[in-house]
Structure 1
Amino acid sequence: MGRGVGIASACASATVVNAIAAGKGAAFGVDLRVQARVRLTKGGKISGRILGQRKESPRLIEICVRRVLENLGMKKYGAVVETTSEIPIAVGLSSSSAAANAVVLATFAACDQRPKPEQVLEIGIESAFEAGVTVTGALDDAAASFYGGGVITDNLKRKILKRFKVDPRLVVVVHVPPVKFYTSKVSPEDLRHIYRAVQSVHRMALRGEIWKSLTINGLLYSTALGHDPMIAIEAISKGAVAAGLTGTGSATVAVAEPDKVVDIVKAWRAWRGRILITKPAIEGARVEGV
């Protein structure tokens, strides 16, 4: 064991193809980060806090720590785990996947261990299932958050089918409505009617038509889940390369050249909520200190 403290962070991600309807997804990293600090204790008790978000349950981050300690045969230890985040929670920006990645990495670092990427993703996904915060395991979100850049996945088979680069000069504009929308409330059964359409959008992404896929996926899911698709259409009309619902919402993401951002932001002020301006994440999860 090292000094018993680990600090790590991971980035948010935005949806290209949501995997809930068809089990296959795609996503890319977004430069909003969550940081986790894990301090090992004696006695086996694990307690978690999401700083600045008292109403949110720390169950996922506590499960992540427990599973890492079990994995390393260190069940006699406990831990205090805290996360701080720039990522709005429960709006579709993979706050859960990012938190899981950061906590798993920080716990390994506290134990003076360097895990393989697949190990971090596997523990995070299993923890998310146990915590009930995912429907498909969210490999697309988790892998985009861990690696940065873009990924296309088969979530049900837990396979990364392809990775793609995102132009770092592009700007990511996010509209965050005042309402949260928890992924766990949606089931594949609710989305059966868009199954075939989402499958064809996933094939489109595999062919390299990433931004077209993002826009069409957003329209399909907005309509299916009752979100307003006009906000994305407005961004496209103002010159966005792509725009659509991210995750199951409620946030909408637009990807644009820098000179289009002002027009998109002006148009989006007609909708209630806040607007974040960020960029694609080239770097994913990282250990920041032990």
Structure 2
Amino acid sequence: MDGRAVAPAAGTVLNALATGTGSAFAIDLETTATVDLTDDGEIEGTIAEDPEADAELIERGVAVTLDRHAAAAGRERRDVGARVHTESEVPLAAGLKSSSAAANAAVLATLDALEIADAVDRVDACRLGVYAAREAGVTVTGAFDDASASMLGGVTVTDNTRDELLAREAVDWHAVVYTPPEQAFSADADVAACERIAPVADLVAELALDGRYAEAMTVNGFAFCGALGFPTAPLLDALPDAAGVSLSGTGPSYVAVGEREALATVRDRWEDRPGTTRLLATRSDGATTT
């Protein structure tokens, strides 16, 4: 039995490192996972972009899904193994939620292989991926904000301390993403520095829960660039053309949202910087089986 699923990347509205409340939105960069179930009880993962890379995250995503749902699919858990393989458009360690997209795709592909994907609530499926990410040590906050945006689509606001979805809304923005050449792993972020700007993060959360996502992004961007030591010049490059702009995750990518024509101007400015710039649609459909 085999399954296949795709999950989108995401950009940041509010980084959850300061208070545990976070917000993110899905963007049109995808990770695809295929899962082939076996009878040997072993789980092995491979990543197309780097066959030598550690595949623990996607292996744990498959394992926790089988632990929870194999019996419901009429399978004896101890006898079920899997081969999981991912291919991704999402750059690694760039702040664009590559881990959340990979975990979501692996979980949903496993449910597809078990032939029960339509019977499992998407928020519950998302929590499985978050649990796998925590076990694999690739996240500080648990990243339920990032994972929920990727799984559900649109923009979400979450309490990551309780894995609770506080709000979700479909959006029809475009987004421009600038990714510098360097990488930044979220597990290495200076959490203590982020916690010192908790009052600002509380303000950003209020804006997001009031539906003022673009304003929330911009406040978040300047605050977390300061806390994490990233330059604010790319934020200033995007204003006032973008409706909102932020450092995405723990960097190094920046993401701006708004009307496509206005964002083309932002793209042109960011393209003068070293790295990669992409003008993308946002996604409201989230992760899907294929």
The answer to whether the aligner puts 1:195 opposite 2:198 as a matched pair is yes
- Which residue does 2:187 correspond to in 1? 184
- Which residue does 2:228 correspond to in 1? 225
Taking the TM superposition and a 5 Å limit, the aligned residue runs for 1:1-290 are 4-54=1-51, 56-71=53-68, 72-73=70-71, 74-114=77-117, 115-167=120-172, 170-237=173-240, 239-288=241-290
Query: Partners in 2 of 1:261 and 1:205 — Cα distance?
Result: 21
Aligned residues of 2:34 and 2:106 also touching (Cα < 8 A) = yes
Count residues in correspondence.
Answer: 282
CA root-mean-square deviation: 1.3
- TM-score for the superposition, normalised by structure 2: 0.94
Query: Partners in 2 of 1:252 and 1:54 — Cα distance?
Result: 28
Seen in structure 2, the aligned counterparts of structure 1 residues 172 and 181 have a Cα distance that, compared at 3 Å, is same
Deviation at 1:187, TM superposition (A): 4.7
Flag structure 2 segments of 5+ consecutive residues without an equivalent: 72-76
Identity of aligned residues (%): 37
Give the match's secondary structure for 1:224. Answer: helix
Give the match's secondary structure for 1:75. Answer: helix
Give the match's secondary structure for 1:161. Answer: strand
Give the match's secondary structure for 1:197. Answer: helix
Query: Partners in 2 of 1:118 and 1:268 — Cα distance?
Result: 35
Flag structure 1 segments of 5+ consecutive residues without an equivalent: none
Aligned residues of 1:60 and 1:127 also touching (Cα < 8 A) = yes
Query: Partners in 2 of 1:46 and 1:234 — Cα distance?
Result: 46
- TM-score for the superposition, normalised by structure 1: 0.94
Give the match's secondary structure for 2:239. Answer: helix
Query: Partners in 1 of 2:207 and 2:111 — Cα distance?
Result: 37
